[in-house]
Amino acid sequence: MSYDRYLKAALAGFALSVTAAASALAQDSALRVLRGTASSALDIPMNRAVVVESDVPFTELSIANPGIADISSLSDRTIYVLGKEPGRTTLTLLAADGRLITNVDVHVSPDMAEFKERLTQILPGENIEVRTANDGIVLSGTVSSAARLDRALDLAQRYAPDRVSNLMSVGGTQQVMLKVRFAEMQRSVSKALSSSLSLNGSSLQNGRNIRGGTNTTVGQTGITNSLNNIIPTANDSNGAFLLGFGAGGVEVGVLLEALEARGVVRSLAEPNLTALSGQQATFLAGGEYPVPVSNDDGAISVEYKPFGVELNFTPRVVDGDIINLELLAAVSGIDPSNSFSANGFEISAFSRRETSTTVEMRDGESFAIAGLLSDDFTDLSGQVPWIGDVPILGALFRSAEYSRRQTELVIIVTPHLVSPTRGMALALPTDRVRPPSEQDLFLFGRVTAASAPTRGGAGEVARQDFMGSYGYVMDE
């Protein structure tokens, strides 16, 4: 019984293995990949057509992706192929018996011949190399300006949208030094004329006295000397005229006060700053002013506000020596006259002149980017009511003040294309000054060394004659 059982199990296992092998053979014979005869790739420019001819007659042809290329048969050996979109696809040819003749790789790429022709017409003289890679355009080489680089990229986008690789670099000078001149002139004039009249004497009841002009008062207590009483304790007037006389028992005192002030202020700043084309540069010469700030929880913190000469600019070399400037320039200072007090803190205000603009100019040219003309005028006249309207005598009871303030401000910018140089060719203001030796200091009283540098930029500065009038001179 056991022998029969083993024999049946062996026969069953053999039958299963034969069945599995037969199934595998059936599957292999049911599907077979037809390779066909390999042929070289067919390169077609976009929106261009080519006619190809087969050595073997075919009865059927197909294209894998009709969106890349379109086909039509002209005869049993001739095929018309039109490139529609950049990309790769496969063209298949079959014989009458269904046999695969060949598979052809079709490469549709941008029309490089037309693109190079247009590139030469639009940007003549530029060293730009054009290549194709993965159905796109690769641009390399050196162009003369950033504007020409952008034009080349825009043109390439027409032929290969979103498939342009930029390997170009911009040659020439791409560093810009900006020279900014802040010039401000302030002129002020103020005039004041006032008078005071005092009467005192025994003829007035209870020793009453009368004072006229800007300080007209009627006092209850008589004074022994009216003239001394009407002289101000602190007189800011540049001119004061005192006249007094007596008429019987009455003493008359007249005080005329005149003030005239003129002032001229000139301020000038010339910051220079260098930056690479397309990069922002900042400059601040001044300081930071602490300002107390109350937080949400009631605590006091300190914030610092910058002041002084500020300059922020972004240069862009557009084409050749044409420079596009996007800049912010400001001059600010602390103004204690407009201070603010709160909770025991006194905060000064700021006077600030600021401009923000974008201009375009050539190397070395100048532009006045901002200007301000301000003219403030004040005229004030005061008098004692009714008495001041009396002819001649009323002038003693009137006062007049006049003030005028004029301000002129102009900001001028000048860009320059610059290149780096050797450090020895540059000189600092301190290069010609050396600390003195003990002999120079104690024996000869010199605050600097007697010897000066003789080489490089420092030597050139040391040889200059600094005697005479130097710096900014204001003519009055």
Pairing between strand 217-219 and 209-213? antiparallel
pLDDT score, position 147: 80
* pTM of the full structure: 0.57
pLDDT score, position 219: 36
pLDDT score, position 163: 84
Tell me how far apart the alpha carbons of residues 402 and 7 are, in angstroms, rounded to a whole number: 136
* Three-state secondary structure string covering 304-369: EEEEEEEEEEEEEEEECCEEEEEEEEEEEEEEEEEEEEECCEEEEEEEEEEEEEEEEEECCCCEEE
pLDDT score, position 360: 92
Q: pLDDT (tens digit, 0 to 9) for every residue of the chain, 476 residues total?
A: 455 555 455 555 555 554 555 454 444 445 555 555 556 688 888 888 889 888 888 888 889 998 889 998 888 889 999 988 888 888 888 888 888 888 888 888 888 888 888 888 888 888 888 888 777 889 998 888 778 888 899 998 888 888 889 998 887 678 899 999 888 888 888 888 777 766 666 544 554 444 444 443 333 333 334 444 444 444 455 566 666 666 666 666 667 777 778 888 888 888 899 999 889 999 998 888 888 887 878 788 888 888 888 999 999 888 778 899 999 988 888 888 788 877 677 788 888 888 899 999 999 999 888 888 888 888 888 887 887 778 877 777 788 888 888 888 898 999 999 888 776 667 776 766 778 888 888 888 888 776 655 555 555 555 555 555 544 444 43
pLDDT score, position 115: 86
What is the identity of the amino acid at 457? G
Tell me how far apart the alpha carbons of residues 462 and 469 are, in angstroms, rounded to a whole number: 17
pLDDT score, position 380: 85
Q: Distances in Å between the alpha carbon of 446 and those of 314, 324, 439, 451?
A: 46, 50, 9, 11
Locate tokens 């005239």: which residue?
A: 260
pLDDT score, position 37: 52
Which domains, and CATH codes, for the chain? 38-109 (2.60.40.1080), 112-170 (3.30.1340.30), 421-475 (no CATH)
pLDDT score, position 282: 92
What's the token pair of residue 138?
């690769």
pLDDT score, position 227: 44
Q: Distances in Å between the alpha carbon of 444 and those of 99, 118, 163, 449, 460?
A: 112, 77, 77, 10, 25
Tell me how far apart the alpha carbons of residues 320 and 365 are, in angstroms, rounded to a whole number: 14
pLDDT score, position 232: 44
**In 54-172, at which residue ranges do the beta strands (DSSP E only) sit?**
60-63, 69-73, 78-83, 87-94, 100-109, 127-133, 136-143, 164-170
What's the token pair of residue 446?
């010199």
328, 355 in Cβ contact below 8 A? yes
pLDDT score, position 15: 52
Tell me how far apart the alpha carbons of residues 390 and 396 are, in angstroms, rounded to a whole number: 10
Tell me how far apart the alpha carbons of residues 270 and 179 are, in angstroms, rounded to a whole number: 7
Q: How many CB atoms lie within 10 A of CB 142?
A: 14
Tell me how far apart the alpha carbons of residues 308 and 286 are, in angstroms, rounded to a whole number: 4
